[in-house]
Amino acid sequence: IYAQNMLGTVYNHGIGTDPNKVNAYIWWAMANTSSKLKVRDKLDELQEAMTTDELRTAQETAAQCYQSKFKQCQPTLLQTASI
């Protein structure tokens, strides 16, 4: 759970990688559904900075990852360059 939160932070700020709003959203969404960590504010703030397409992709991928218990995540989305 903490790792999911940290991955969201890494992607959001581009720590060791290119910043990627979609990946940040996906991992913060996972942390939000899995714990009592207060990441909802991070998600809300990030949503405001995302395009409609970025948000749709992030929400669809997060739902797919969560429902499949991380077995059906689309690696191409998780490894994309900065959008």
Residue type, position 52, single letter: T
Residue-level pLDDT, tens digit, the chain, 83 residues? 789 999 999 999 999 999 999 999 999 998 988 766 678 899 999 999 999 999 999 999 899 888 998 887 664 444 444 44
Tens-place pLDDT, residues 12-27: 999 999 999 999 999 9
Task: State both tokens at 8.
Answer: 């969201």
pTM over 0.85: no
Q: What is the 3-state secondary structure (H, E, C) of 43-69?
A: HHHHHHHCCHHHHHHHHHHHHHHHHCC
Distance from chain centroid for Cα 43: 9
